[in-house]
A and B are shown apart, each in its own frame.
Chain A
Amino acid sequence: MTTRVHAQPAAMARERAVPRKEGRQLSLPSLVTICLVVIGLAGLLPLIQSSNATSTSSSVLQLERARNDWQARVQELQADIATLGSLDRIEREARGRLGMVSPSETIYVLVDEPAPETQPVPLRFLPSKTEQPRHEDSWWESLLGKLPLR
């Protein structure tokens, strides 16, 4: 009789302390696995970010190198254009290819028209001026812009 009276309050106390759940209770190995997965994911995130940053930086370096190479190429072509427009070459082409000779007599003809503007380089060699599309900030760039971080 006495034992039964003591057992009931203890059982009730255990039940109050550990609420009865419906379904399975997590075992220790499961808990450890979940923790390991969470830690792994947490560790993977900076790794992915770092990898992306490194790849982007490497791409930037490659693009810079390519840009510099194109700039060098452009400079060489500009120098070629200037050389092609040199007086010696013009005279060579005029005499050799076009069969022209220096005039023996100068005839002055008065023309009542304004002279054309002088051009240092023929217009067809100059790059056409294309309108650059106006860059509009994306939603997160505009949000960042509102913050006092930039």
Chain B
Amino acid sequence: MSRIGSGIARRLAIVVAVLAVAVLGLVFRLVDLQLLHHQQYREQAQEEHLSRLDIMPRRGAILDRNGYPLAASVDAYDVLVDKHIWGSPDKAHQSAETLADVLIRPTDDILADLDGSISREVVVARGLDYQASVAVEDLGLPGVRLIRSSRRVYPEGNMAPALLGFLGRDNLGLAGLEADYDSELGGAAGALVYERDGKGDPIPVAHAKQVAAEPGADIILTIDRYMQHLVERELDDTIKKHKASGGTIIIMDPRTGAILAMASRPSFDVTHLDLSDEGKTDLYRNRAVTDLYEPGSVFKTITMSAALNEGVVSPESTYVDEGVFRASGWTITNWDLGAHGVQTATQILTKSLNTGAAWLSQLLGPEPFYDYVQRFGFGQSTGVGLSGEAPGQVRTPADEDWSEVDMATNSFGQGINVTPLQMITAISAIANDGRLMRPYVVREVHRGDESEMTEPVIVRQVITPDTANTLTDMMESVVDGITAIYAISVPGYRVAGKTGTASISVPGGYKPDSYIASFTGFVPSDDPVLAMLVKIDEPKDVPWGSAVCAPVFARLASTILPYLKVAPEAPALVQGNPSQ
């Protein structure tokens, strides 16, 4: 009996030992899986089961001063395909065919996108609208999902493209205000991390963590869409009529520096962008702030301001115009090559005498002259806040190769390079009792319940109010003189302005038979509400600013002043019903 019992006990012990070894093996394996390689398997599991979805914020809108949207974002949908779920080539082809019908894309293109990407999920269509997204969802194809994105819409069409700018594919601003205010407009992306099932759909009541997206702020501009519309149409018509190469029109409120309209040509079509065309890169800049030009006779108002403010002349001061002015061995003549004899300071402006302007600069002297040039804002950025703004080029006595003939030519706007925005800002200072205002185009950044307003900034008092008033009277005389020849009157309103016809500088000299015609002025002259610069580049038929640009000023002012509810002078008014 005892021998049988010990045999059973031995066999039992062997079985127990085997079981114990097996259990130990299991324990070691569990320790290995759950402790030693815990992190590795956890990451693998997360990669398999967890998905991360970036929640793109809604991009803010760009609105005009009255709240009309110039650029806004609407939700769009991108279609993603999970290659692993589509699996075999036959199944992929079949699914791609079904999808291609809805996306209106060739099946082969869709398959090529999948083959060409190393990612598991591939975008096969972008920017679908709501109806198209519903059609894709109704297909119910496994492995296909929609993610929300956005696309930019332009309700006013191709209005102010160079100012507004445009977005890239990833909704980042690439040019214009879209780039300059990208952080404000773009908001902050959110994220959704969730557990997904085998089809890629989120599992309810499973792990999910969401950080909400913060929508972008809306930007409210100082631009008025109606004025912008008028300005762009007038600019296009004028360029076409005079077969010009381009042009710029800027309208500014001289009292605040707010830019009411800004248009430049040539430009691009923001509604039909083709960023792959490198030849069009040149069109994307805002020429009103980036392009330099020699302003010509318009600059005589700056020279006259300085002379009047320094008291070296009065409107009735006289000089003898012999038709030539000599400086540093160079000879300067008038635009008509004529000698006009005894002329008053006012006639220097009304007849646009180069010799007279050079005489004024000589009276002033280099230091005061360039001091006023700098005080009017030339040779430096205006601070408008638009990227690419050029500071301009002004050669002063401090420059090595400066000579007195530079000052003489600068006095009538040649040999000095300015931007259109600098020119209109300086003229606005004359309209604003001598106060130079900082121009601005963004009035408000609006985020939720918070608003960040831009307040008008007085840069400096350049000339006294008396000087400004005196110069305004002289500039009215200029317009009166032009009105006698060209139909540029603004019925019911007094206009102060100055014409310009400037040569175009090129390396080594000036371009023959090519000019930049311009007119700048403000209205009503006694209490200006708008200042305007009209600049047309290389008009082919007639080069004169008075013939090309002054009528544009008159047409625009005639339409805009009633729109701004600026009452004309009494004789132009009709009391009651004009038909009775």
Interface residues of A, Cβ cutoff 8 Å to B: 50, 53-54, 57-58, 60-61, 68-69, 71-73, 75-76, 78-79, 82-83, 85-88, 106-110, 115, 118, 120-121
Contacts and interface: CB of A to CB of B under 8 A. Distances in A.
Contacts of B226: 87
A120 B67 contact: yes
B72 A79 contact: yes
Interface string B569-580: 000111111100
A76 B130 contact: yes
Contacts of B155: 79, 82-83, 85-86
B55 to A, nearest CB: 10
Nearest to B491: A106
B572 A108 contact: yes
B69 interface: yes
B419 to A, nearest CB: 28
Nearest to B64: A120
Nearest to B157: A88
A58 B130 contact: no
A104 to B, nearest CB: 12
B229 A87 contact: yes
Given A86-B155, A88-B229, A110-B574, 15 more contacts: A54-B205, A72-B74, A72-B75, A73-B130, A75-B58, A76-B74, A76-B129, A78-B74, A79-B72, A82-B155, A83-B153, A87-B156, A107-B578, A115-B565, A118-B66
Contact of A107 (B72, B229, B574): B574
A115 B69 CA distance: 23
Contacts of B578: 107, 109
Contact of B153 (A61, A79, A110): A79
Interface in B231-288: none
Contacts of A107: 574, 578
A68 B565 CA distance: 43
Interface of B: 58, 63, 66-69, 72-75, 129-130, 133-134, 148, 153, 155-157, 202, 204-205, 225-226, 229, 491-492, 558, 562, 565, 567-568, 572-578
Contacts of A108: 492, 562, 567-568, 572-574
Contact of B567 (A82, A88, A110, A118): A110
A60 B169 CA distance: 32
Contact of B74 (A54, A60, A75, A110): A75
Contact of A86 (B157, B491, B567): B157
A101 to B, nearest CB: 15
A50 B572 CA distance: 81
Contact of B68 (A68, A73, A115, A120): A120
A109 B204 contact: no
Contact of B573 (A72, A76, A87, A110): A110
Given A82-B69, A109-B578, A58 B204 contact: yes
Nearest to A50: B205
Question: Which are the 8 A-B pairs with shortest beta-carbon distances?
Answer: A120-B67, A57-B204, A82-B155, A72-B75, A83-B155, A75-B74, A58-B204, A57-B205
A110 B134 CA distance: 55
Contacts of B204: 53-54, 57-58, 60-61
A108 B225 CA distance: 23
Contacts of B202: 61
A60 B202 CA distance: 12
Contacts of A54: 204-205
6 contacts: A53-B204, A75-B74, A75-B75, A79-B155, A87-B156, A108-B574
Nearest to A111: B576
Nearest to A70: B130
B74 A79 contact: yes
A87 B575 CA distance: 30
Given A58-B204, A71-B75, A110 B558 contact: no
A110 B565 CA distance: 11
A71 B73 CA distance: 12
Contacts of A57: 204-205
A89 B283 CA distance: 26
Contacts of A76: 74-75, 129-130
Contact of A87 (B73, B133, B148, B225): B225
Contacts of A85: 68, 155
Nearest to B558: A106
Nearest to B73: A75
Contact of A82 (B58, B72, B134, B575): B72
A88 B68 CA distance: 13
A75 B63 CA distance: 15
Contacts of A118: 66
A75 B575 CA distance: 46
Nearest to B565: A115
A82 B62 CA distance: 12
Nearest to A71: B75
A53 to B, nearest CB: 5
Nearest to A60: B204
Given A50-B205, A82-B69, A109 B74 contact: no
B530 to A, nearest CB: 17
A7 B22 CA distance: 58
Contact of A69 (B130, B157, B205, B567): B130
